[in-house]
Structure 1
Amino acid sequence: MITLLAPGQGAQTPRMLAPWLKDPHRHRLVQNWSQRAGIDLIALGTTASKDEIARTENAQPLLVTAALLAGLPAIDALADAGQAHAAVSGHSVGELAAAALAGALDPADAVHLAAVRGRAMAAACAATTGSMAAVLGGDLQTVTEAIESAGLTVANHNGPGQVVAAGPIDAIEAFVAAPPVGTAARRLHVAGAFHSAAMQSATEVFAEAIASVPVRDADVPIVSNADGASVRNATSLRERLVEQITAPVRWDLCLETFRAADITSAICLPPAGTLAGIATRTLPSATVVRITSPRDIDRLSSTTKGRSDAAA
């Protein structure tokens, strides 16, 4: 089983679109997506600074664009080699890219929705004083209880021994200063308390936007970051994409689904950083393939074929 993984906010890197935009067709494609999204994705992906692309309203459509530029030709390359992908998944905003790669959303609509989502979440951040902290180590139940006792929310379950808390800045700072015994905590450089009730206003804006675009049943299962379930139904997918803005990312449950399905290859889309690292640590039986440039697409079928044949 081959799955494609699309990253979420925080994974962006400067010039991440540059290798892809050398191709005239892809350049025109991103120009069209920029017009649809109301944002200059070419400038963001080639000349913008690290601080510029870290802004929520910029990072989210940029990441979805990068995932699609790599994911669409990756799917074609696998099909040409007789190695069709069996599932897709995305972390947070990456789920929009996953939906497009599964055929449930038009790619231009996915980028547009990412831009709406990013702007709405940036506005929610400006209206609140929230932040987030990564918590490493410790027993999950003990860590969860400590986070909740501090008046915070568990926003991300990224894998074994790695969760993220969200909430008011003062509560985050107090938690980081005195984390649970046996753990380490550090404040993240983010604009607000993502995946918590602080993002409720963004949910309302996004719900209106996604109601105006077609959502189809997916061609392949989308492993949902809400609960690790495999989703294909259009109505369920639309609801999950709205609800996930204030709900925790359960990437740990996605990993459980991948392990249960005995995936042979995890193809990590640009910039192929954090998710590739998590997959390498938690999916030892799978080949983890990092896609960062068109050259990686050219090598894709040979990279995945050996492991797929061994599992046959």
Structure 2
Amino acid sequence: MPPSTDPTIPSPAASSTATTATASRDRPVALLLPGQGSQHPGMATGLYGHVPVFTAVMDEFFTLLRREGEELRRDWLSDSPRVSLDDASRAQPLLFAVGYALGRTLLDHGVRPAVLLGHSVGELAAAALAGVFDLADAAWLMSARSAALADTRPGGMLAVAARPEQLTALLGPGPGGADDRPVVGALNAPAQTVLSGLEPQLSAVEETLRDAGLTARRVPALQAFHCPALGKAADVFEAAFDAVSLRPPAIRIWSTRTARPVHAREATDGAFWAQQLVAPVLFWPALDDLLLHGDFTLVETGPGQGLSTLARRHPQVRARRSAVVPLLPPRAGADLPFFRTALAALPASGRRAPVARPVGT
């Protein structure tokens, strides 16, 4: 996958147009919201100041974060950011904000998604779009998430062209035992597995994998997301939910933590969202389960085209039963015309479908 993807594996360059995804018949819309690894310099900045709802939502989010928000906006718009965009303090809140602001823009254009599916921090953007918490609470939570991750040990993520069972024998225990070794952090597609772990163990595993002839590449991340090593950070983040009012989702969320719809009892439990930091991302199982329930236009609602590239590999998409529409180009540039073309490609059903009732009990 391109460097602009969610944690995944190198692949041929994603399409730079949205026209190939235009639906031949109406389908309900499912938004795919990317997470860590999809960030890149200049992501979505071409919409800022030109798309009113997107701009207003981004500004509102930055304002809610106060001084932290001003620093975040400055680094987002800068050619030379003070803090690397790959660091959690930048990538995580910006990915949330861009995904949420794009979702709000689609709603303003009359697009009514039937389903939301978020990868990693994209699942928090999905929760906000579904009304589980409002933007003010989301700003509080994203600030708390960054603070919880600030003191974690250096780590990262490694995308490998292999199935999980192929990697088990190669991982081995770390210097501190089994709890110290990298683990499977994401299942992005068949034979596309992401490992997550602390340093220097992750680098040692990377060398072992390459010696074994496996293709591996680093995901743009400076923390070991979706790994038990972040257990303490997840507990700290969970405490932040005590100050937040949680509600059942008004739009169905297909969780990449459980690979099934989020129930109301889960949506209103802060631990469900916070402990996502240590749980593996089940993107492919979630997408597979979703497409077993129907045909959709899958709209990547965030920077890059990583999730679009993955989704295009699904048999239902390859058979043209479902379609894929990325909202932004693979890299920064021509954001505005690309977005307008993508919006025009969305099926009419996505503009008429009613908002789903809360899911589960």
Post-superposition Cα deviations, 1:260-290, rounded to whole Å, max 9, x if no partner, equal 1233201101213211111122232322111
1:303 to 331, 345, 351: 345
- Once structures 1 and 2 are overlaid, which stretch shifts more, 104-113 or 2-11? 104-113
Q: Secondary structure at the match of 1:39?
A: helix
- Which structure carries more relative contact order (alpha carbon 8 Å, separation 6+)? 2
Aligned to 1:164: 194
Aligned to 1:272: 304
1:290 to 326, 349, 355: 326
Aligned to 2:29: 2
Q: Secondary structure at the match of 1:3?
A: strand
Post-superposition Cα deviations, 1:280-308, rounded to whole Å, max 9, x if no partner, equal 22232322111124555544564232798
2:171 to 144, 147, 155: 147
Cα distance change of structure 1 residues 159 and 122 upon mapping to structure 2, 3 Å threshold: farther
Cα distance change of structure 1 residues 49 and 162 upon mapping to structure 2, 3 Å threshold: farther
1:108 to 133, 136, 139: 136
Q: Secondary structure at the match of 1:108?
A: helix
Q: Secondary structure at the match of 1:113?
A: helix
Matched, 1:135 2:160: yes
Q: Secondary structure at the match of 2:226?
A: coil
Counterparts of residues 50-129 of structure 1 (less than 5 Å): 52-79=84-111, 84-124=112-152, 128-129=153-154
Residue identity in the other structure for 2:297: S
Q: How many residues align?
A: 301
Contact kept in structure 2, 1:2 and 1:86, CA below 8 Å:
yes
Q: CA RMSD in A?
A: 2.7
- Once structures 1 and 2 are overlaid, which stretch shifts more, 167-176 or 46-55? 46-55
Q: Secondary structure at the match of 1:166?
A: strand
1:240 to 272, 283, 288: 272
Aligned residues with identical type, % of pairs: 27
Quote the Cα distance in structure 2 between the aligned partners of 1:247 and 1:174.
23
1:143, distance to aligned residue in structure 2 (A)? 2.2
Contact kept in structure 2, 1:78 and 1:301, CA below 8 Å:
no
Quote the Cα distance in structure 2 between the aligned partners of 1:115 and 1:148.
35
Q: Secondary structure at the match of 1:178?
A: helix
Structure with higher helix content: 1
Aligned to 1:184: 215
Question: What is the TM-score with the length of structure 2 in the denominator?
Answer: 0.75
Counterparts of residues 25-40 of structure 1 (less than 5 Å): 26-37=54-65, 38-40=68-70
Quote the Cα distance in structure 1 between the aligned partners of 2:344 and 2:312.
19
Post-superposition Cα deviations, 1:139-182, rounded to whole Å, max 9, x if no partner, equal 43232453365632111111111111122323222222222856
Residue identity in the other structure for 2:155: G
Cα distance change of structure 1 residues 243 and 69 upon mapping to structure 2, 3 Å threshold: same
Residue identity in the other structure for 1:42: R
Residue identity in the other structure for 1:19: G
Contact kept in structure 2, 1:96 and 1:114, CA below 8 Å:
no
Quote the Cα distance in structure 1 between the aligned partners of 2:282 and 2:299.
19
Cα distance change of structure 1 residues 32 and 146 upon mapping to structure 2, 3 Å threshold: same
Quote the Cα distance in structure 1 between the aligned partners of 2:76 and 2:44.
5
Q: Secondary structure at the match of 1:99?
A: helix
Q: Secondary structure at the match of 1:230?
A: coil
Structure 1: runs of 5+ lacking an equivalent? none
- Once structures 1 and 2 are overlaid, which stretch shifts more, 207-216 or 113-122? 113-122
Quote the Cα distance in structure 2 between the aligned partners of 1:197 and 1:307.
42
